[in-house]
Structure 1
Amino acid sequence: MDAVEMDVAEMNRLSWNAATVAHNSHKGDQAQFFRNGGSTLFPEEVALLGEIDGSSILHLQCNSGQDSLSLAALGAAVTGVDISDSAIDFARTLSAESGIAADFERADVSAWLRDAGATGRKFDRVFSSYGTVIWLPDLDEWAEGIAGVLAPNGRFVLVEFHPFAMCFDEKWSLTYPYGGGTPVTEPGGVGDYVADSADLVLPGAQGDGVENFENPFPSCEFNWSIAEVLGALRRAGLTLESFDEYPYANGWQGFEEMAELGGKRWGVPAGRPEIPLMYSLSVRLAD
Protein backbone atom coordinates (compact mmCIF):
# COMPACT_ATOMS: atom_id res chain seq x y z
CA MET A 1 0.00 0.00 0.00
CA ASP A 2 1.29 3.46 -0.89
CA ALA A 3 2.22 5.70 2.06
CA VAL A 4 -0.37 8.34 1.08
CA GLU A 5 -3.16 5.75 1.22
CA MET A 6 -2.93 5.09 4.94
CA ASP A 7 -2.77 7.35 7.96
CA VAL A 8 0.50 7.93 9.75
CA ALA A 9 -0.33 5.88 12.85
CA GLU A 10 -1.27 2.83 10.79
CA MET A 11 1.81 3.19 8.59
CA ASN A 12 4.07 3.32 11.60
CA ARG A 13 2.29 0.44 13.34
CA LEU A 14 2.92 -1.83 10.37
CA SER A 15 6.52 -0.68 9.99
CA TRP A 16 7.28 -1.22 13.68
CA ASN A 17 5.57 -4.61 13.65
CA ALA A 18 8.00 -5.79 10.99
CA ALA A 19 11.08 -4.16 12.52
CA THR A 20 10.41 -5.38 16.06
CA VAL A 21 10.61 -9.01 14.99
CA ALA A 22 14.02 -8.35 13.44
CA HIS A 23 15.24 -6.39 16.46
CA ASN A 24 14.42 -9.10 18.97
CA SER A 25 15.88 -11.81 16.78
CA HIS A 26 19.36 -10.51 17.66
CA LYS A 27 18.97 -10.29 21.42
CA GLY A 28 19.29 -13.88 22.52
CA ASP A 29 17.57 -15.24 25.63
CA GLN A 30 16.17 -12.05 27.10
CA ALA A 31 14.08 -13.81 29.73
CA GLN A 32 17.22 -15.42 31.13
CA PHE A 33 18.95 -12.03 31.06
CA PHE A 34 16.25 -10.58 33.32
CA ARG A 35 16.03 -13.66 35.55
CA ASN A 36 19.74 -13.19 36.17
CA GLY A 37 19.14 -9.62 37.37
CA GLY A 38 19.93 -7.85 34.10
CA SER A 39 18.73 -4.32 33.39
CA THR A 40 18.57 -2.27 30.20
CA LEU A 41 18.38 1.09 31.99
CA PHE A 42 21.15 3.70 31.77
CA PRO A 43 22.32 5.80 34.74
CA GLU A 44 20.69 8.98 33.37
CA GLU A 45 17.13 7.69 33.48
CA VAL A 46 17.60 5.94 36.83
CA ALA A 47 18.86 9.19 38.39
CA LEU A 48 16.08 11.30 36.88
CA LEU A 49 13.30 8.94 37.94
CA GLY A 50 14.57 8.84 41.51
CA GLU A 51 13.22 6.40 44.08
CA ILE A 52 10.52 4.37 42.34
CA ASP A 53 9.99 1.42 44.67
CA GLY A 54 6.25 1.31 45.36
CA SER A 55 5.39 3.92 42.74
CA SER A 56 3.29 3.64 39.61
CA ILE A 57 5.01 4.29 36.27
CA LEU A 58 3.51 4.77 32.83
CA HIS A 59 6.09 3.90 30.18
CA LEU A 60 5.09 5.50 26.89
CA GLN A 61 6.31 3.99 23.61
CA CYS A 62 7.73 1.10 25.59
CA ASN A 63 8.69 -0.97 22.53
CA SER A 64 9.20 -4.62 23.55
CA GLY A 65 9.16 -3.91 27.26
CA GLN A 66 12.81 -4.35 28.23
CA ASP A 67 13.05 -0.99 30.02
CA SER A 68 9.57 -1.47 31.46
CA LEU A 69 10.63 -4.73 33.09
CA SER A 70 13.85 -3.15 34.30
CA LEU A 71 11.74 -0.51 36.07
CA ALA A 72 9.40 -3.14 37.47
CA ALA A 73 12.37 -5.06 38.86
CA LEU A 74 13.16 -1.95 40.93
CA GLY A 75 9.78 -2.21 42.63
CA ALA A 76 7.53 -0.05 40.45
CA ALA A 77 4.08 -1.00 39.19
CA VAL A 78 4.61 -0.45 35.47
CA THR A 79 2.19 -0.01 32.59
CA GLY A 80 3.80 0.00 29.15
CA VAL A 81 2.08 1.37 26.05
CA ASP A 82 3.21 0.96 22.45
CA ILE A 83 1.67 1.16 18.97
CA SER A 84 3.23 -2.10 17.78
CA ASP A 85 1.31 -5.36 18.15
CA SER A 86 4.55 -7.33 17.79
CA ALA A 87 6.23 -5.30 20.51
CA ILE A 88 3.40 -5.65 23.00
CA ASP A 89 3.02 -9.38 22.32
CA PHE A 90 6.75 -9.82 22.89
CA ALA A 91 6.66 -7.70 26.07
CA ARG A 92 3.84 -9.76 27.56
CA THR A 93 5.65 -12.99 26.82
CA LEU A 94 8.93 -11.63 28.20
CA SER A 95 7.15 -10.54 31.38
CA ALA A 96 5.71 -14.01 31.89
CA GLU A 97 8.94 -15.84 31.09
CA SER A 98 11.15 -13.58 33.19
CA GLY A 99 8.82 -13.62 36.19
CA ILE A 100 8.72 -9.81 36.34
CA ALA A 101 5.16 -8.50 36.45
CA ALA A 102 4.11 -5.53 34.31
CA ASP A 103 1.05 -4.56 32.28
CA PHE A 104 1.31 -3.88 28.55
CA GLU A 105 -1.32 -2.23 26.36
CA ARG A 106 -1.30 -1.85 22.58
CA ALA A 107 -2.43 1.60 21.40
CA ASP A 108 -1.41 4.79 19.68
CA VAL A 109 0.14 6.82 22.49
CA SER A 110 -1.93 10.01 22.01
CA ALA A 111 -5.20 8.08 21.78
CA TRP A 112 -4.26 6.03 24.86
CA LEU A 113 -3.45 9.16 26.87
CA ARG A 114 -6.70 10.80 25.86
CA ASP A 115 -8.73 7.77 26.94
CA ALA A 116 -6.75 7.26 30.15
CA GLY A 117 -7.22 10.88 31.17
CA ALA A 118 -10.95 10.67 30.52
CA THR A 119 -11.27 7.63 32.77
CA GLY A 120 -9.20 9.10 35.61
CA ARG A 121 -6.11 6.89 35.44
CA LYS A 122 -3.15 8.44 37.31
CA PHE A 123 0.55 7.64 37.62
CA ASP A 124 3.36 8.85 39.89
CA ARG A 125 5.80 8.91 36.97
CA VAL A 126 5.45 9.02 33.22
CA PHE A 127 8.56 7.95 31.35
CA SER A 128 9.75 7.90 27.75
CA SER A 129 13.17 7.46 26.20
CA TYR A 130 15.36 7.16 23.10
CA GLY A 131 13.74 7.74 19.74
CA THR A 132 10.19 8.47 20.85
CA VAL A 133 9.48 12.16 20.17
CA ILE A 134 10.08 11.80 16.42
CA TRP A 135 7.00 9.56 16.15
CA LEU A 136 4.61 12.19 17.56
CA PRO A 137 2.57 14.17 15.00
CA ASP A 138 1.07 16.54 17.62
CA LEU A 139 3.18 17.64 20.60
CA ASP A 140 0.40 19.59 22.30
CA GLU A 141 -1.91 16.58 22.33
CA TRP A 142 0.94 14.46 23.71
CA ALA A 143 1.87 16.96 26.45
CA GLU A 144 -1.74 17.55 27.48
CA GLY A 145 -2.24 13.80 27.67
CA ILE A 146 0.79 13.40 29.94
CA ALA A 147 -0.41 16.20 32.23
CA GLY A 148 -3.83 14.53 32.38
CA VAL A 149 -2.53 11.24 33.78
CA LEU A 150 0.01 12.55 36.29
CA ALA A 151 -0.88 12.08 39.94
CA PRO A 152 -0.41 15.03 42.35
CA ASN A 153 3.34 15.79 42.53
CA GLY A 154 3.83 13.39 39.62
CA ARG A 155 6.68 13.87 37.16
CA PHE A 156 7.34 13.20 33.50
CA VAL A 157 10.90 12.13 32.64
CA LEU A 158 12.24 12.10 29.08
CA VAL A 159 15.68 10.99 27.89
CA GLU A 160 15.96 11.49 24.16
CA PHE A 161 18.34 11.74 21.24
CA HIS A 162 19.12 15.36 20.49
CA PRO A 163 17.13 16.84 17.58
CA PHE A 164 20.20 18.68 16.32
CA ALA A 165 21.98 15.35 15.86
CA MET A 166 18.92 14.09 13.99
CA CYS A 167 19.53 16.74 11.32
CA PHE A 168 22.44 14.63 10.02
CA ASP A 169 22.38 11.41 8.02
CA GLU A 170 24.59 8.46 8.95
CA LYS A 171 27.52 10.00 7.06
CA TRP A 172 27.33 13.24 9.10
CA SER A 173 25.87 15.17 6.18
CA LEU A 174 23.34 17.88 7.12
CA THR A 175 20.18 16.45 5.57
CA TYR A 176 17.05 16.99 7.68
CA PRO A 177 15.36 20.13 9.05
CA TYR A 178 15.68 21.16 12.67
CA GLY A 179 12.21 21.22 14.15
CA GLY A 180 8.98 22.35 12.60
CA GLY A 181 7.24 18.98 12.83
CA THR A 182 7.29 18.47 9.07
CA PRO A 183 6.42 14.86 8.20
CA VAL A 184 9.38 12.95 6.75
CA THR A 185 8.43 9.67 5.08
CA GLU A 186 11.09 6.97 5.05
CA PRO A 187 10.30 4.57 2.18
CA GLY A 188 12.48 1.90 3.79
CA GLY A 189 10.58 2.14 7.08
CA VAL A 190 12.01 1.39 10.51
CA GLY A 191 15.42 -0.20 10.05
CA ASP A 192 17.23 -2.90 11.97
CA TYR A 193 19.24 -0.60 14.21
CA VAL A 194 19.88 -3.46 16.63
CA ALA A 195 21.88 -5.35 14.02
CA ASP A 196 23.87 -2.18 13.37
CA SER A 197 24.61 -1.48 17.06
CA ALA A 198 26.51 -4.28 18.78
CA ASP A 199 25.85 -2.61 22.14
CA LEU A 200 22.16 -3.51 21.89
CA VAL A 201 22.81 -7.24 21.47
CA LEU A 202 22.88 -9.24 24.69
CA PRO A 203 26.04 -11.21 25.52
CA GLY A 204 26.23 -14.50 23.67
CA ALA A 205 23.75 -13.50 20.97
CA GLN A 206 26.14 -11.87 18.48
CA GLY A 207 25.68 -13.07 14.93
CA ASP A 208 22.22 -14.54 15.50
CA GLY A 209 18.98 -13.33 14.03
CA VAL A 210 17.57 -11.84 10.86
CA GLU A 211 20.15 -10.89 8.24
CA ASN A 212 19.86 -8.07 5.68
CA PHE A 213 16.46 -6.97 6.98
CA GLU A 214 14.35 -4.94 4.57
CA ASN A 215 11.15 -3.44 5.92
CA PRO A 216 8.22 -3.83 3.52
CA PHE A 217 6.38 -0.92 5.16
CA PRO A 218 7.35 2.77 5.05
CA SER A 219 7.34 4.94 8.16
CA CYS A 220 6.81 8.62 8.92
CA GLU A 221 8.77 10.72 11.41
CA PHE A 222 8.51 14.29 12.69
CA ASN A 223 11.50 16.43 13.63
CA TRP A 224 10.72 18.57 16.68
CA SER A 225 13.10 21.12 18.17
CA ILE A 226 13.82 21.23 21.88
CA ALA A 227 12.00 24.57 22.07
CA GLU A 228 8.92 22.93 20.58
CA VAL A 229 9.05 20.04 23.06
CA LEU A 230 9.51 22.35 26.05
CA GLY A 231 6.85 24.74 24.77
CA ALA A 232 4.25 21.99 24.49
CA LEU A 233 4.99 20.77 28.02
CA ARG A 234 4.76 24.32 29.38
CA ARG A 235 1.44 24.96 27.63
CA ALA A 236 0.12 21.76 29.23
CA GLY A 237 0.79 23.23 32.68
CA LEU A 238 3.99 21.34 33.42
CA THR A 239 6.92 23.00 35.18
CA LEU A 240 10.51 22.29 34.19
CA GLU A 241 12.63 20.80 36.98
CA SER A 242 15.74 19.86 35.07
CA PHE A 243 17.19 19.94 31.56
CA ASP A 244 20.56 18.60 30.41
CA GLU A 245 22.41 17.96 27.15
CA TYR A 246 25.02 15.25 26.65
CA PRO A 247 27.90 14.91 24.14
CA TYR A 248 27.18 11.20 23.75
CA ALA A 249 24.34 8.84 22.88
CA ASN A 250 23.35 5.89 25.03
CA GLY A 251 23.11 2.63 23.12
CA TRP A 252 22.94 4.23 19.68
CA GLN A 253 25.69 3.94 17.11
CA GLY A 254 23.75 5.93 14.55
CA PHE A 255 26.57 7.56 12.59
CA GLU A 256 29.74 6.44 10.89
CA GLU A 257 32.97 6.18 12.86
CA MET A 258 31.43 7.04 16.21
CA ALA A 259 33.80 6.92 19.18
CA GLU A 260 33.13 4.18 21.71
CA LEU A 261 33.24 5.81 25.14
CA GLY A 262 32.46 2.81 27.34
CA GLY A 263 29.28 2.04 29.22
CA LYS A 264 27.43 1.58 25.90
CA ARG A 265 27.93 5.27 25.14
CA TRP A 266 28.94 6.62 21.73
CA GLY A 267 30.35 10.04 20.86
CA VAL A 268 31.26 11.96 17.71
CA PRO A 269 34.23 10.62 15.73
CA ALA A 270 37.69 11.58 16.95
CA GLY A 271 38.78 14.94 15.59
CA ARG A 272 35.26 16.26 14.98
CA PRO A 273 33.76 19.14 16.98
CA GLU A 274 31.65 17.94 19.89
CA ILE A 275 27.89 18.35 19.50
CA PRO A 276 24.99 17.32 21.77
CA LEU A 277 23.78 13.84 20.91
CA MET A 278 21.26 13.39 23.71
CA TYR A 279 19.18 15.45 26.16
CA SER A 280 17.03 14.85 29.21
CA LEU A 281 14.30 16.70 31.02
CA SER A 282 12.07 16.33 34.04
CA VAL A 283 8.80 18.23 34.46
CA ARG A 284 6.05 18.15 37.05
CA LEU A 285 2.52 19.47 37.37
CA ALA A 286 2.49 23.16 38.26
CA ASP A 287 1.02 23.97 41.67
Structure 2
Amino acid sequence: MAPSKDLHEANRRSWNEATPAHNSHKGDQARALREGHCTLFPEEQELVGDVRGQSLVHLLCNSGQDTLSFAAKGARVTGVDISDEAIAFARSLSEASGLPGTFVRQDVYDWLAAASAEGTRYDVAFSSYGAMCWLSDLGAWARGLAGVLAPGGRFVVVDFHPLALTLDEQWRLHYPYGGGVHVETAGVTDYVAQAQDALVPWGFKEGVKDFRNPHPDHTFQWGLGEIITALLSAGLRLEALREYPYANGARLFPRMRETEGRRMWPPEELPTIPLMFGLVVIKPA
Protein backbone atom coordinates (compact mmCIF):
# COMPACT_ATOMS: atom_id res chain seq x y z
CA MET A 1 0.00 0.00 0.00
CA ALA A 2 1.16 3.56 -0.75
CA PRO A 3 -0.19 6.83 0.69
CA SER A 4 -3.32 7.94 -1.21
CA LYS A 5 -2.19 11.40 -2.19
CA ASP A 6 -5.27 12.16 -4.29
CA LEU A 7 -7.51 11.50 -1.29
CA HIS A 8 -5.21 13.53 0.95
CA GLU A 9 -5.59 16.45 -1.45
CA ALA A 10 -9.37 16.13 -1.29
CA ASN A 11 -9.11 16.19 2.50
CA ARG A 12 -7.02 19.36 2.30
CA ARG A 13 -9.87 21.09 0.49
CA SER A 14 -12.41 19.84 3.03
CA TRP A 15 -10.29 21.02 5.99
CA ASN A 16 -9.65 24.38 4.34
CA GLU A 17 -13.40 24.89 4.18
CA ALA A 18 -14.11 23.78 7.76
CA THR A 19 -11.23 25.40 9.65
CA PRO A 20 -12.48 29.02 9.52
CA ALA A 21 -15.86 27.82 10.82
CA HIS A 22 -14.17 26.00 13.71
CA ASN A 23 -12.13 29.02 14.72
CA SER A 24 -15.13 31.35 14.44
CA HIS A 25 -16.47 29.80 17.66
CA LYS A 26 -13.30 30.14 19.73
CA GLY A 27 -13.14 33.87 20.35
CA ASP A 28 -9.81 35.50 21.16
CA GLN A 29 -7.64 32.40 21.32
CA ALA A 30 -4.40 34.36 21.57
CA ARG A 31 -5.68 36.09 24.68
CA ALA A 32 -6.84 32.77 26.12
CA LEU A 33 -3.34 31.32 25.65
CA ARG A 34 -1.71 34.44 27.12
CA GLU A 35 -3.97 34.11 30.16
CA GLY A 36 -2.79 30.56 30.71
CA HIS A 37 -5.59 28.52 29.19
CA CYS A 38 -4.28 25.12 28.06
CA THR A 39 -6.11 23.21 25.32
CA LEU A 40 -4.55 19.88 26.33
CA PHE A 41 -6.58 17.37 28.33
CA PRO A 42 -5.10 15.52 31.33
CA GLU A 43 -4.80 12.24 29.40
CA GLU A 44 -2.33 13.50 26.83
CA GLN A 45 -0.42 15.54 29.40
CA GLU A 46 0.04 12.43 31.54
CA LEU A 47 1.25 10.31 28.63
CA VAL A 48 3.53 12.93 27.08
CA GLY A 49 5.07 13.90 30.41
CA ASP A 50 7.44 16.78 31.09
CA VAL A 51 8.42 18.54 27.84
CA ARG A 52 10.52 21.36 29.27
CA GLY A 53 13.53 21.93 27.05
CA GLN A 54 12.51 19.16 24.64
CA SER A 55 11.86 19.30 20.90
CA LEU A 56 8.31 18.27 19.99
CA VAL A 57 6.67 17.80 16.61
CA HIS A 58 2.88 17.80 16.48
CA LEU A 59 1.75 15.85 13.42
CA LEU A 60 -1.67 16.76 11.99
CA CYS A 61 -1.61 19.78 14.28
CA ASN A 62 -4.75 21.50 12.95
CA SER A 63 -4.73 25.20 13.90
CA GLY A 64 -1.92 24.89 16.42
CA GLN A 65 -3.73 25.39 19.72
CA ASP A 66 -2.42 22.17 21.29
CA THR A 67 1.01 22.73 19.73
CA LEU A 68 1.28 26.13 21.39
CA SER A 69 -0.02 24.72 24.67
CA PHE A 70 3.07 22.47 24.62
CA ALA A 71 5.17 25.56 23.88
CA ALA A 72 3.72 27.17 26.99
CA LYS A 73 4.96 24.14 28.93
CA GLY A 74 8.51 24.74 27.73
CA ALA A 75 8.82 22.62 24.57
CA ARG A 76 10.40 23.77 21.31
CA VAL A 77 7.51 23.02 18.99
CA THR A 78 6.92 22.30 15.31
CA GLY A 79 3.44 21.72 13.91
CA VAL A 80 2.68 19.98 10.61
CA ASP A 81 -0.69 19.94 8.86
CA ILE A 82 -2.01 19.60 5.31
CA SER A 83 -4.51 22.46 5.61
CA ASP A 84 -3.45 25.88 4.33
CA GLU A 85 -6.09 27.56 6.48
CA ALA A 86 -5.00 25.70 9.62
CA ILE A 87 -1.31 26.51 9.23
CA ALA A 88 -1.98 30.16 8.40
CA PHE A 89 -4.09 30.43 11.55
CA ALA A 90 -1.48 28.63 13.66
CA ARG A 91 1.25 31.03 12.53
CA SER A 92 -0.88 34.06 13.36
CA LEU A 93 -1.87 32.54 16.71
CA SER A 94 1.77 31.94 17.58
CA GLU A 95 2.63 35.57 16.84
CA ALA A 96 -0.39 37.01 18.65
CA SER A 97 0.00 34.81 21.73
CA GLY A 98 3.76 35.31 22.04
CA LEU A 99 4.29 31.55 22.13
CA PRO A 100 7.01 30.53 19.66
CA GLY A 101 6.37 27.72 17.20
CA THR A 102 7.29 26.63 13.69
CA PHE A 103 4.37 25.59 11.48
CA VAL A 104 4.71 23.71 8.18
CA ARG A 105 1.97 23.18 5.59
CA GLN A 106 2.67 19.79 4.07
CA ASP A 107 1.23 16.32 3.67
CA VAL A 108 2.44 14.44 6.74
CA TYR A 109 3.94 11.66 4.60
CA ASP A 110 5.99 14.13 2.57
CA TRP A 111 7.12 15.94 5.71
CA LEU A 112 8.16 12.71 7.48
CA ALA A 113 10.16 11.55 4.46
CA ALA A 114 11.93 14.90 4.06
CA ALA A 115 12.65 15.39 7.77
CA SER A 116 14.00 11.87 8.12
CA ALA A 117 16.24 12.28 5.07
CA GLU A 118 17.55 15.60 6.41
CA GLY A 119 18.44 14.05 9.76
CA THR A 120 15.94 16.14 11.73
CA ARG A 121 15.20 14.45 15.06
CA TYR A 122 12.72 15.15 17.86
CA ASP A 123 12.44 14.11 21.49
CA VAL A 124 8.64 13.84 21.20
CA ALA A 125 6.21 13.27 18.35
CA PHE A 126 2.53 13.78 19.13
CA SER A 127 -0.91 13.40 17.51
CA SER A 128 -4.42 13.49 18.94
CA TYR A 129 -8.20 13.45 18.50
CA GLY A 130 -9.06 12.51 14.95
CA ALA A 131 -5.56 11.88 13.65
CA MET A 132 -5.28 8.17 12.87
CA CYS A 133 -8.31 8.12 10.58
CA TRP A 134 -6.56 10.42 8.07
CA LEU A 135 -3.63 8.04 7.55
CA SER A 136 -3.91 6.03 4.34
CA ASP A 137 -0.75 3.92 4.88
CA LEU A 138 0.16 2.87 8.43
CA GLY A 139 3.48 1.27 7.45
CA ALA A 140 4.87 4.38 5.76
CA TRP A 141 3.62 6.55 8.63
CA ALA A 142 5.22 4.37 11.32
CA ARG A 143 8.54 4.17 9.47
CA GLY A 144 8.48 7.94 9.06
CA LEU A 145 7.87 8.38 12.79
CA ALA A 146 10.78 6.11 13.65
CA GLY A 147 12.93 8.15 11.28
CA VAL A 148 12.28 11.50 12.98
CA LEU A 149 12.50 10.36 16.60
CA ALA A 150 15.78 10.80 18.43
CA PRO A 151 17.12 7.68 20.21
CA GLY A 152 15.07 7.39 23.38
CA GLY A 153 12.41 9.66 21.89
CA ARG A 154 8.72 8.89 22.25
CA PHE A 155 5.60 9.06 20.12
CA VAL A 156 2.33 9.71 21.93
CA VAL A 157 -1.15 9.56 20.46
CA VAL A 158 -4.49 10.07 22.20
CA ASP A 159 -7.32 9.48 19.77
CA PHE A 160 -10.85 8.21 19.37
CA HIS A 161 -10.99 4.45 19.75
CA PRO A 162 -11.32 2.42 16.53
CA LEU A 163 -14.35 0.68 18.03
CA ALA A 164 -16.15 4.02 18.38
CA LEU A 165 -15.51 4.70 14.69
CA THR A 166 -17.55 1.65 13.71
CA LEU A 167 -20.80 3.15 15.09
CA ASP A 168 -23.46 5.25 13.38
CA GLU A 169 -25.38 8.11 15.00
CA GLN A 170 -27.78 5.64 16.61
CA TRP A 171 -24.93 3.81 18.39
CA ARG A 172 -25.30 0.83 16.04
CA LEU A 173 -22.49 -1.08 14.35
CA HIS A 174 -22.25 0.34 10.84
CA TYR A 175 -18.64 0.65 9.61
CA PRO A 176 -16.06 -2.13 9.39
CA TYR A 177 -13.44 -2.47 12.11
CA GLY A 178 -9.95 -1.98 10.73
CA GLY A 179 -8.49 -3.17 7.49
CA GLY A 180 -7.63 0.30 6.24
CA VAL A 181 -11.10 0.54 4.73
CA HIS A 182 -11.69 3.85 2.94
CA VAL A 183 -14.82 5.73 3.99
CA GLU A 184 -16.07 8.81 2.13
CA THR A 185 -18.40 11.19 3.94
CA ALA A 186 -19.98 14.58 3.28
CA GLY A 187 -16.98 16.57 4.50
CA VAL A 188 -15.34 17.75 7.70
CA THR A 189 -18.15 18.96 9.96
CA ASP A 190 -18.32 21.90 12.33
CA TYR A 191 -17.69 19.69 15.35
CA VAL A 192 -16.72 22.74 17.43
CA ALA A 193 -20.28 24.07 17.10
CA GLN A 194 -21.55 20.67 18.24
CA ALA A 195 -19.22 20.52 21.25
CA GLN A 196 -19.54 24.19 22.27
CA ASP A 197 -18.01 24.89 25.73
CA ALA A 198 -16.62 21.35 25.86
CA LEU A 199 -13.99 22.46 23.32
CA VAL A 200 -13.97 26.18 24.17
CA PRO A 201 -13.92 26.38 27.97
CA TRP A 202 -12.88 30.06 27.92
CA GLY A 203 -16.15 30.98 26.17
CA PHE A 204 -17.90 29.53 23.11
CA LYS A 205 -18.97 32.01 20.41
CA GLU A 206 -21.85 31.38 18.02
CA GLY A 207 -19.76 32.23 14.94
CA VAL A 208 -20.60 30.55 11.65
CA LYS A 209 -24.12 29.10 11.59
CA ASP A 210 -25.39 25.96 9.85
CA PHE A 211 -22.04 25.12 8.26
CA ARG A 212 -22.16 22.77 5.27
CA ASN A 213 -18.97 21.55 3.67
CA PRO A 214 -19.01 21.37 -0.15
CA HIS A 215 -15.95 19.08 -0.18
CA PRO A 216 -16.18 15.40 0.86
CA ASP A 217 -13.60 13.90 3.16
CA HIS A 218 -11.88 10.51 3.06
CA THR A 219 -10.99 8.57 6.18
CA PHE A 220 -9.50 5.13 6.86
CA GLN A 221 -10.58 2.50 9.35
CA TRP A 222 -7.66 1.06 11.34
CA GLY A 223 -7.89 -1.41 14.21
CA LEU A 224 -5.89 -0.95 17.39
CA GLY A 225 -3.87 -4.07 16.62
CA GLU A 226 -2.97 -2.74 13.17
CA ILE A 227 -1.78 0.56 14.63
CA ILE A 228 0.39 -1.08 17.29
CA THR A 229 1.77 -3.69 14.88
CA ALA A 230 2.82 -0.98 12.40
CA LEU A 231 4.69 0.88 15.14
CA LEU A 232 6.40 -2.27 16.43
CA SER A 233 7.35 -3.28 12.89
CA ALA A 234 9.08 0.09 12.50
CA GLY A 235 11.36 -0.79 15.43
CA LEU A 236 9.56 1.17 18.14
CA ARG A 237 8.87 -0.28 21.60
CA LEU A 238 5.45 -0.20 23.25
CA GLU A 239 5.54 1.52 26.63
CA ALA A 240 1.88 2.27 27.45
CA LEU A 241 -1.60 1.55 26.14
CA ARG A 242 -4.72 3.06 27.68
CA GLU A 243 -8.40 2.70 26.82
CA TYR A 244 -10.92 5.23 28.08
CA PRO A 245 -14.73 4.80 28.34
CA TYR A 246 -15.36 8.47 27.46
CA ALA A 247 -14.40 11.01 24.80
CA ASN A 248 -12.77 14.28 25.77
CA GLY A 249 -14.59 17.37 24.56
CA ALA A 250 -16.25 15.66 21.60
CA ARG A 251 -19.94 14.91 21.23
CA LEU A 252 -19.28 12.03 18.87
CA PHE A 253 -22.88 10.80 18.96
CA PRO A 254 -26.33 12.04 20.02
CA ARG A 255 -27.39 11.77 23.67
CA MET A 256 -23.86 11.72 25.09
CA ARG A 257 -23.64 12.60 28.79
CA GLU A 258 -21.11 15.21 29.90
CA THR A 259 -19.36 14.85 33.26
CA GLU A 260 -16.63 16.77 35.05
CA GLY A 261 -13.55 17.48 32.97
CA ARG A 262 -15.58 17.80 29.74
CA ARG A 263 -15.77 14.04 29.40
CA MET A 264 -18.51 12.66 27.13
CA TRP A 265 -20.04 9.26 27.94
CA PRO A 266 -22.58 7.00 26.21
CA PRO A 267 -26.26 7.35 27.19
CA GLU A 268 -27.08 5.77 30.55
CA GLU A 269 -29.03 2.89 29.00
CA LEU A 270 -25.99 1.70 27.02
CA PRO A 271 -23.00 -0.24 28.37
CA THR A 272 -19.64 1.47 28.46
CA ILE A 273 -17.26 0.85 25.57
CA PRO A 274 -13.83 2.33 24.86
CA LEU A 275 -14.30 5.69 23.16
CA MET A 276 -10.64 6.82 23.28
CA PHE A 277 -7.24 5.22 23.47
CA GLY A 278 -3.79 6.47 24.46
CA LEU A 279 -0.55 4.99 23.20
CA VAL A 280 3.13 5.61 23.93
CA VAL A 281 5.98 4.05 21.95
CA ILE A 282 9.69 4.62 22.42
CA LYS A 283 12.55 4.56 19.93
CA PRO A 284 15.27 2.41 21.51
CA ALA A 285 18.40 4.34 22.44
Bin of the TM-score, shorter chain as denominator length: over 0.9
CA distance in structure 2 between the partners assigned to 1:174 and 1:225 by the alignment: 15
Residue aligning to 2:49:
50
Is it true that 1:245 corresponds to 2:243 in the alignment? yes
Residue aligning to 1:71:
70
* Correspondence for 1:219 among 217, 220, 233: 217
Q: TM-score, normalised by structure 1?
A: 0.96
Correspondence 1:1-287 to 2 at 5 A = 7-186=6-185, 188-198=186-196, 199-206=198-205, 208-287=206-285
Shift, 1:203, TM fit = 3.1
Alignment: residue pair count? 280
- Where does structure 1 lack aligned partners over 5 or more consecutive residues? 1-5
Q: For residues 80-99 of structure 1, give each alpha carbon's deviation from its aligned partner in whole angstroms, at most 9, with x where no partner exists.
A: 00000000000000000011
RMSD (CA atoms) = 1.0
Shift, 1:173, TM fit = 2.0
Shift, 1:141, TM fit = 0.4
- Where does structure 2 lack aligned partners over 5 or more consecutive residues? none
Q: What is the one-letter code of the residue matched to 2:249?
A: G
CA distance in structure 1 between the partners assigned to 2:203 and 2:155 by the alignment: 35
Shift, 1:202, TM fit = 4.3
Q: Does structure 1 conserve the Cα–Cα contact (< 8 Å) formed by 2:15 and 2:188?
A: yes
Q: Does structure 2 conserve the Cα–Cα contact (< 8 Å) formed by 1:28 and 1:202?
A: no
Q: TM-score, normalised by structure 2?
A: 0.96
Partner SS for 2:277: strand
Residue aligning to 1:3:
none
Q: Does structure 2 conserve the Cα–Cα contact (< 8 Å) formed by 1:163 and 1:223?
A: yes
Q: Does structure 2 conserve the Cα–Cα contact (< 8 Å) formed by 1:247 and 1:276?
A: yes
CA distance in structure 2 between the partners assigned to 1:205 and 1:150 by the alignment: 37
Shift, 1:149, TM fit = 0.4
CA distance in structure 2 between the partners assigned to 1:62 and 1:222 by the alignment: 18
CA distance in structure 2 between the partners assigned to 1:24 and 1:72 by the alignment: 20
CA distance in structure 2 between the partners assigned to 1:62 and 1:122 by the alignment: 18
Shift, 1:39, TM fit = 0.5
